[in-house]
Copies of this chain bind each other. A is one copy, B any other.
Amino acid sequence: MDSTKFSKPISLKRIQLDGGFWKPEMELVRKEVIPYQWETLNDRVPEAAPSYCMHNFKVAGRMNKEKRELGSRYQEPTYTFRGFEALPDDPRHPDDDKFYGCVFQDSDFSKWIEAVAYSLTQHPDPELEKIADGAIDIVCAAQLENGYLDTYYIINGMDKMFTNLKDHHELYCFGHLTEGAVAYYQATGKDKLLKAAMRFADFIASYFGTEEGKCKGYPGHEIAEMALVRLYEVTGDEKYKKLAEYFVNQRGTQPYYFDSEGKVTEKEKKTKIRYQYYQAHLPVREQKTAMGHAVRAVYLYSGMADVARLTGDDSLYQTCETLWNNITTKQMYVTGGIGQTHHGEAFTFDYDMPNDTIYAETCASIGLVFFARRMLEMNPDSKYADVMELALHNGVLSGMALDGKSFFYVNPLSVNPRSCHDDPGKQHVKPVRQKWFGCACCPPNLARLISSIGSYAYTENEDTLWVHLYAGGTVEKEVNGQKAQVVITSGLPWDGDVTLKVESEQPVTMTVALRIPGWCGEDFELEGAVGKECRMENGYLYVSGEWKEGDLLKLRFAMKVKVMQADSRVRQDEGKVAIMRGPVVYCLEEADNGQGLPLVRVKPDAVFTEEKTDELGFTMIMLRVDAKTKKPVTVENGLYQTWQKPVYEGKELRFIPYYAWANRGEGEMEVWVNQL
């Protein structure tokens, strides 16, 4: 770990994205997802599962008000603990004072407010900000005097607070609340929610820790770790850094804290090394392979990377590096999807990449992006940014329909719709996106990531601006008190032309570090760097010198269609190829190619024709190729017959970007296609 290489994300207030690939996606989130999400938070969407989120905050708030009115006579209520409340038959607007929904329902608000915050930095909207302020008032009214703020326990009985860290989600809700609060503060300067988060954090810091008498627990679902680091970075309060460190270091130590909660399942009891699902099977520094619930895993690793950066802890950094390498070189789909099985939404094992029973949750790829950015902050190596770009353009974006109105949890690489309906082992795979989910993690996670894409595209240190993703827009860079605007235009991911123009009243001496994407290899051109010093390091081209108004760099990355194959240890992809162009993975859909995709054969050295089209509402490049299809073998009165020489017929195939699949109804889809 070399702290001279450290960089940090650029504040979204200093970035204005204004074109290219990401701006339309951000607009989709702003216009479709954020308003829709607010309606669901308030249970006003007839076709979506109600969230009950705002209802719960209001109920908790009313209980607090009563408490205040009762004054000193008040005693903490000890309601009967009812465990995980089943959703009632859609009461929509329950007017009773019960908690409804999942234990983690509070986080629906927090994810929404975070997306709102990012959106406001790119598109000020007083009306939206007013709604957000009102929501914050409701949320803050629910907070207890001691700082605790989780409506599930406030409503159901505080005597059970922090008694099921393993499976309930108080620290998860805290983490999301904090992320939302920091974002809203950074976007608007308003600190009401930030102060609430700090009070909750203070309470947690007083409750958990290695000191005698303190609880030795840690979150069942990680996120508090990275949230606390954000809180530390915005407040400077060492307590939060220390708490994040504690959560990371305590995790997986012996005796297992989760054992002490008495909620060990029969299955868990049987394993000596248990709690892999929670990444709590070993102390984190002893973990060498990504295991368990994939979202939790990458959230933890992101928090570990944050703590490593803050503390300079090299062993923790090396662990992050080991886990990063395990995921990206042994357990990642070609789309940047991670988590091979829906059993526990989890990793399975190295080189096991089933395409049809896959999980590859949208949130897991989002978490991988979090992890990548944090590794980049410590070590500007393009291997992280390559994966970040890959996940964003494929396994993340596939989670949202092109109209921003429906969503995937699971992002399969092979779909036969009948299996989704009638094979119970594949019913987690949906052939079309769903409107919204009762357990709504993926849609709001997409909203907050896409709205803040600028903070993944660019990082900086004192004199260097790193460009990880060529997201078109303007970035402000200050060096020695001199401000420069760097204006980026980008044709990515469809064409490889990128320009960077400097706008600055006075010359600025700085370095611009340009990522050379892995997918173009060494096949790129740079113009306009005359007089500046250029050097390549770890996949970044560092262009240093004095930049004056109008200085223009032109980059051209070669964008060729690439036919990919998998390592032979991935037995599921044997004999198959996948098509990529730049960072975009392609797929075949029934809508373009008819039924029977397993019968299709692609010649790996065939010539692909590019077709730029807006037909799906966004500019995209489709690919066409002359291929073959096997004449179907129809066995009379049975399933099997003696082999007969196959007959192949010519067939033109049309590939579309993977992220755009399933926008034209239900049908077969394949990423990995049989080769001829």
Contact = CB atoms under 8 A, between A and B. Distances in A.
A153 to B, nearest CB: 26
Contacts of A565: 633, 640-644
A568 B599 contact: yes
B329 A637 contact: yes
A397 B531 CA distance: 79
Contacts of A634: 567-569
Contacts of A357: 357, 425
Contacts of A564: 640-643
Nearest to A631: B568
Contacts of A342: 425
A190 interface: no
Contacts of A596: 568
A348 interface: yes
Contact of A418 (B349, B567, B575, B675): B349
B418 A643 contact: no
A632 interface: yes
Contacts of A574: 598-599, 630, 674
Contact of A642 (B352, B562, B643, B674): B562
A424 B344 contact: yes
Q: Which one of A416, A566, A596, A632 has the highest number of Cβ atoms from chain B below 10 Å of its Cβ?
A: A566
A640 B349 contact: no
B643 A604 contact: yes
Interface residues of A, number: 59
Given A416-B571, A565-B633, A568-B599, A639 B422 contact: no
B568 A341 contact: no
A635 interface: yes
A6 B599 CA distance: 44
A595 to B, nearest CB: 10
Interface string A525-567: 0000000000000000000000000000000000000111111
A332 B640 CA distance: 10
Interface in A560-613: 562-571, 574-575, 577-578, 596, 598-599, 604
A334 B641 CA distance: 10
Given A332-B639, A642-B562, A352 B418 contact: yes
A663 interface: no
A12 to B, nearest CB: 32
A578 B567 CA distance: 25
Contact of A340 (B334, B423, B577): B423
A437 interface: no
B642 A570 contact: no
Nearest to A330: B639
A641 to B, nearest CB: 6
Contacts of A419: 348, 352
Contacts of A571: 416, 598
Interface of A: 328-330, 332, 334, 340-344, 346, 348-349, 351-354, 357, 416, 418-419, 422-425, 562-571, 574-575, 577-578, 596, 598-599, 604, 630, 632-635, 637-645, 674-675
Given A343-B424, A357-B425, 20 more contacts: A329-B638, A329-B639, A334-B639, A334-B640, A341-B424, A342-B425, A352-B423, A354-B425, A357-B357, A425-B425, A563-B643, A564-B640, A564-B643, A565-B641, A567-B634, A568-B633, A569-B632, A574-B599, A575-B575, A643-B675
7 contacts: A334-B640, A348-B424, A565-B633, A566-B640, A568-B599, A569-B632, A574-B674
